[in-house]
Structure 1
Amino acid sequence: MTHGRSRRGVAVLVALVALSSGCSVSEEDAVPGPTGAAYEIVPEPGRTIEATLPASVSGLDGYRIAAIVPDTSAASVALLSAARAVASANGASLREFPVDEEGEDPVGAALDRALGERPDLIVGLGGGVVDVFGFESAQSLDQQFLVVGAQLAEPTGNVTAVVWDGATSRGSAAGPDGELDDASITEERGEDAFEAGLASIQDGMTGAVLRLG
C-alpha cells in the first residue's frame, strides 16, 4: 500500500480533477430520494440525493464495522458515540481504529490496520479522513466504505457518504457545499447519518452522497 509522498501526490491530482470537473453539488441540486424503504441504484458515484431515514436497519447481525477515528475533537467523539449506539442497537460489531497523530501518515496507518481486518464496512468519521480515503478507497474496490459528516471529491462506487448542513467537507481536494460548522456534528445527527448510510449500503445503493434534510 502506498503512503506519504505518493499519497500526497495523488491528493493533489484528485484536487485538480475535482476543481476542473466542477463536481460540487449544492443542496438545491440534490436529487430527491425515493419515498419507500429502499433507495434506487444511482449509477454515478458522487451523485447527491436526499437521504431517506429508515424505520430500521436490517441484516446487521454479525456485520463487522471498522471505524477510523481521525482525532479527539468534539465532532469525532460525537460521531464515534453515534457509531457505537447504532452498531449496538443493530447487532453489528464495531472495532475502533484511533489515529496516532504522531505518525508520518496517521490516518493512512489506521486505515491500513482496518483493511487488514477485512471488515464488511470501513467508516470514516468526518472530514479528517477524506484526503486519505479519496486515494485508498479507489485502490480497494472490493471494500465498502462509508464517510459520515464529509464526502469525497471524486468517489468510486464503493464509497457512500452522508452529509448535512455544516458537515459537507471534501477535504483539501475541493470546497465544501456551504460553510462548515463543527457545532452541527452531534451524536443525534450522527446516528441519523449512520442509519441512512447503512440502510443505503444494505439496499445495494452505494457510491452516492446522501444529504440529510
Structure 2
Amino acid sequence: MHHRRRLVTVLAATVLGAGMLAGCAGGDGWSGPRTAPTPIGVLGAGFVEPSATPSPEATIVPQPGSWDGVRPSPGYRVVLLVAGDDRPTKALVSAVRQWADDEDVDLRTVVADDDLVGGIVAATAMHPDLVVSAGNDLVDPLATVTASHLDQQFLVVGAEVAEPTANVTAVDWSGASFRGEGLGASSTYDPASFTADRCGTAVRAGVAAVLHGLTGIVVWIA
C-alpha cells in the first residue's frame, strides 16, 4: 500500500495564510468532486452496546479488537495536525503515518508548533474527511476552535477535549487523557504509556468510531 503525503508548516495565524494552504492542497486533487467516503467493514461485538447509542461526551470501553474489521475506503483524506516534538507526540505521529500507509489513506500533515490556532484553522480549510490531532499543546486551542467548525470531524489521540462538540472524538487510555491546562485527567499522565502498539491501536479504534458515526465521545482502550 502507499499513500500521498504532504507536509504543511504553519507560520502565521491568519485566515489568509490558511486560505493559501488550502489552495495548495486543492491544487493536487482535494478540491475536485468525489464520492463521500464510507467505512469498509463493520464494528465487532462489544464495541458499543447494540441497544443504545452513546450519549454526547460519554466514555465507551470497547472490547479489544472489536474495531479490527473496519477501515476507510481508499483515498480517505486525513490531515495530521501536530504540535510538539516530545516522545509521546512522535509516537502518535508514527502511528498515524503507519496506519495511513497500511490503508492507502491520502495523508497531509500540518505542523502547528508556531501557531496552534492557525494550524487548526489551516487544517479545516483543507476540507479533509478527518483531522487527527497529536500533541497535548493542541487540546486547549481545539476546545476553542472546533465548535466553530461543526461540519469537520476531529479525532484527538492520547488526549481529550473537556467538553467536546459532536464533531470531536477522542481515544484515551491509562496514562493519557490530558484535557487541557488547569483541568484534571482520567488518569495520571505517563509518557511511557505511548507505546507504538498502543498508539496504533488508538488510531484504528478512533477512526473506526468516526467512520461509523460514533462521534463526540471518548473511546477508552486498554
| Shorter-chain TM-score range | 0.7 to 0.9
Partner secondary structure for residue 137 of structure 1: helix
Aligned to 2:212: 203
Match among 60, 63, 66 for residue 49 of structure 1? 60
Mapped partners of 1:140, 1:38: distance in 2: 27
Aligned to 1:64: 77
Measure how far apart 1:90 and its partner are.
Answer: 1.1
Mapped partners of 2:56, 2:107: distance in 1: 26
Structure 2 unaligned residues grouped into runs of 5+: 1-12, 15-42
Q: Map of 1:108-119 to 2, 5 A cutoff?
A: 108-119=117-128
1:184 correspondence with 2:197 = no
Aligned to 1:93: 106
The higher-RCO structure (CA 8 Å, 6+ apart) is 1
Over aligned residues, Cα RMSD in angstroms?
2.1
Q: State the identity %.
A: 37
TM-score, normalization by structure 1: 0.77
Mapped partners of 1:42, 1:137: distance in 2: 22
Mapped partners of 1:145, 1:74: distance in 2: 22
Mapped partners of 1:181, 1:36: distance in 2: 30
Q: Map of 1:23-42 to 2, 5 A cutoff?
A: 36=45, 39=48, 42=53
1:83 correspondence with 2:96 = yes
Q: Does the Cα contact within 8 Å between 2:54 and 2:60 map onto a contact in 1?
A: no
TM-score, normalization by structure 2: 0.74
The one-character-per-residue Cα deviations of 1:8-43 (angstroms, maximum 9, x if unpaired) are xxxxxxxxxxxxxxxxxxxxxxxxxx9627645645
The one-character-per-residue Cα deviations of 1:165-188 (angstroms, maximum 9, x if unpaired) are 110110125211121011111222
Aligned to 1:130: 139
Measure how far apart 1:142 and its partner are.
Answer: 0.5
Amino acid at match of 2:105: A
Q: Does the Cα contact within 8 Å between 1:42 and 1:208 map onto a contact in 2?
A: no
Superposition misfits of 4+ residues, deviation over 3 angstroms: 37-43
Measure how far apart 1:73 and its partner are.
Answer: 1.0
Mapped partners of 2:76, 2:44: distance in 1: 26
